Structure 1
């Protein structure tokens, strides 16, 4: 490398050390001078030392670089141990950070400096997020951690072992595809649950409703209906949360459709986007002009990542996928009937199964209509469940009104905008 490039790479090495040093120095800014092993100056020099080691490596050999790294690590560890004994803080993070800065400084010279710089930013970010990460762990239970491990096992271990081909005579059941979609839904639900657990229900009913839309809008609606029965004075607040959950369930259908069939998502958007905006407008109006001053009960959500529930969803998805595939040749009427029945229980399964057939075994119009039927049935089912749980109160009235408004706007979009959706280009 020429001299200009060498200075540039050494500058990146120095910048990495400065960045980590600023974070470390800020965390220990109240420590007396000389009372800490390393701060902004030391880490900056460590980054530069690593960069110079990488620069001299072609001249002095790899053994020199390794020996210098080991010597630096030993000296830094010795000083850090003395500091730990004095403060009774035996965290090894500072030692790892210093060694990492040395290595990244060397990498900035001998490898791609952009990768080294990115790794330096990530390192500083992790160090700065200590309190937040520790708080995250304190809020998690063993059941939630185990669920995350099961989810990873389902994705990393089980998924590659499944055959990636249809196993039935109709070509409707592909074990790997079916399992992948099941895991995807489980992951979305688990993410929504973790959002509620980490942020806490004290953030408000709307936040809980938003997270519930990612997990299970039906389950959240039933829970809020029960809360509204216990605290009818908070019916409007709880209704706003349930409506927001329903709105995000529509967005969830769009996202799932876009992942599997972007052209289908465009067709669905003609109806779902107006319905989504209508429900958001009701939420805004309710929270802005309908405050009663009542306090909603604490939201408690059970862990949605129950392996039994996940497997049941997989069986439901497989059944709907197979039935949809078998009934494709009989005409859209039977598919619409399957969509309506499925919508009383869940809209994810019919969305995933129909999106896989869209543009192939069935037309985009037929697929979009089937999914919209399931969505409408699901919205009305939630109103029925709310009425059975909360009775004919403010909660049910507002949820029912918002649902009818949403369906009306969606129908208008279907009639006015759907004809404007361009047909997909032929494959």
Structure 2
């Protein structure tokens, strides 16, 4: 190891200790001299000591022996002094001990291992230590529902997914169980963002926020719920704003999912979906400002409930099978029919299915099929608004939905002419 590199590595080890030491010292900055077990100087020296231990350790006869011995002695001495401080102050936290051990280890890693990993570890350690208030507040508000949801998500991603077969199963090209499950995890993860947002901001922040958050999970559900409430609550403008916000977010989510699953679709249908969402969002904002009265919004369901997860998996499989079968039997018309019928209830599953078939049907027709599903979904919600809500609610919802769809269709039609202005062509997008 060259001298310059050695100085760099020791400098990193010292810097890691200093960063952690600043955070630890700041927390006890009001303590008098001699009343603090470890602060800036001690942690800085801890990082340097770890680096020294790693530097003098590499002996061919006993690799790791010196480093291990110094780590054990250092940890024992530090824990002893921390114990004596805890007895006097009555503070029984072991955080500083673990932080000191981590600083020593990261200092050793900086000298003898990956500098990038050591630097990242040091920053992460300091960030975790500095986030004490935030993390404690989070734990105080965490409910069993959120904790269970996190466990279910981890099980879905890291326990179930690895054991699911990857090879396609069934006729018409088959459906990959592992691929389907990945999409279930993706959709549930996006939906859980909305659930967490309601938890963070609370349901009393107004229908605009609650509707936007609900749109990540079920814009149809928000539309029906708000339509029903419009018959019994005098807050029709805000209820309508919430329903429109949910549908705006739903359109935006379709655009994001399409871009993630089939990036070549983003430039073709993305602008149209963005304009459709923007029209609905603008109308929702205007309506929300017309009335300040709020009611306790209904929190959206947990997207990681077992029933919801199973329902989403079954829906993806059924629609994927129907789309492939309809395409094989009836050609493009069959896929359009499936998209329209599926869009009456849900547009996420259609998005996943169409993007998965893009290699078979092409970018242009995939965008058309996805657009048909969005149109069908919006029209269906307008019908639900009339069926479950007041006449005023249904009329205004349908009017805004129609205006948004017309704007989106217009943008979709002119996009091929606009793409060359930014150096792209339809053929480029399809590649």
Alpha-carbon distance in 2 for matches of 1:372, 1:344: 13
The residue aligned with 1:422 is: 426
1:66-87 CA-partner distances (Å, limit 9, x unpaired) = 1111111001111111222333
Alpha-carbon distance in 2 for matches of 1:151, 1:399: 35
Instruction: Check conservation: 2:23, 2:126, Cα contact below 8 A.
Output: yes
Alpha-carbon spacing, 1:47–1:308, altered in 2? closer, same or farther (3 Å): same
Deviation at 1:318, TM superposition (A): 0.8
SS at match of 1:417: helix
The residue aligned with 2:170 is: 168
Deviation at 1:284, TM superposition (A): 4.0
Alpha-carbon spacing, 1:202–1:71, altered in 2? closer, same or farther (3 Å): farther
Instruction: Check conservation: 2:265, 2:363, Cα contact below 8 A.
Output: yes
Instruction: Check conservation: 2:14, 2:47, Cα contact below 8 A.
Output: yes
Within-5 A mapping of 1:206-285:
206-232=208-234, 234-285=235-286
Alpha-carbon distance in 2 for matches of 1:33, 1:244: 57
Alpha-carbon distance in 2 for matches of 1:343, 1:327: 16
- Unaligned stretches of 5+ residues in structure 2: 420-424
1:379-407 CA-partner distances (Å, limit 9, x unpaired) = 222233334444134x5455333322211
1:130-165 CA-partner distances (Å, limit 9, x unpaired) = 222222232222233223222222221222222212
Within-5 A mapping of 1:183-198:
183-198=185-200
TM-score w.r.t. length of structure 2: 0.90
Alpha-carbon distance in 2 for matches of 1:26, 1:316: 54
Alpha-carbon distance in 2 for matches of 1:10, 1:366: 59
Count of residues in Structure 1 that have an aligned counterpart in Structure 2 = 422
The residue aligned with 1:2 is: 2
**4+ residue runs of structure 1 moved beyond 6 angstroms?**
none
The residue aligned with 1:80 is: 82
More moved, 332-341 vs 139-148: 139-148
Deviation at 1:412, TM superposition (A): 0.6
Alpha-carbon distance in 1 for matches of 2:240, 2:131: 36
The residue aligned with 2:411 is: 413
More moved, 299-308 vs 15-24: 299-308
Alpha-carbon distance in 2 for matches of 1:84, 1:189: 44
Alpha-carbon distance in 2 for matches of 1:227, 1:14: 62
The residue aligned with 2:293 is: 294
Deviation at 1:44, TM superposition (A): 1.4
2:28 pairs with 1:13: no
Deviation at 1:337, TM superposition (A): 1.6
Within-5 A mapping of 1:28-427:
28-58=28-58, 62-232=64-234, 234-287=235-288, 290-329=289-328, 330-360=330-360, 362-393=361-392, 395-418=393-416, 420=419, 422-424=426-428
Instruction: Check conservation: 2:215, 2:250, Cα contact below 8 A.
Output: yes
Instruction: Check conservation: 1:172, 1:321, Cα contact below 8 A.
Output: no
Alpha-carbon spacing, 1:67–1:278, altered in 2? closer, same or farther (3 Å): same
Instruction: Check conservation: 1:136, 1:198, Cα contact below 8 A.
Output: no
SS at match of 2:57: helix
Deviation at 1:368, TM superposition (A): 1.3
Alpha-carbon distance in 2 for matches of 1:190, 1:426: 32
SS at match of 1:168: coil
More moved, 396-405 vs 155-164: 396-405
Alpha-carbon distance in 1 for matches of 2:33, 2:229: 56
TM-score w.r.t. length of structure 1: 0.91
Alpha-carbon distance in 2 for matches of 1:24, 1:128: 9
Alpha-carbon distance in 2 for matches of 1:312, 1:279: 28
Instruction: Check conservation: 1:227, 1:297, Cα contact below 8 A.
Output: no
SS at match of 2:213: helix
Instruction: Check conservation: 2:269, 2:367, Cα contact below 8 A.
Output: yes
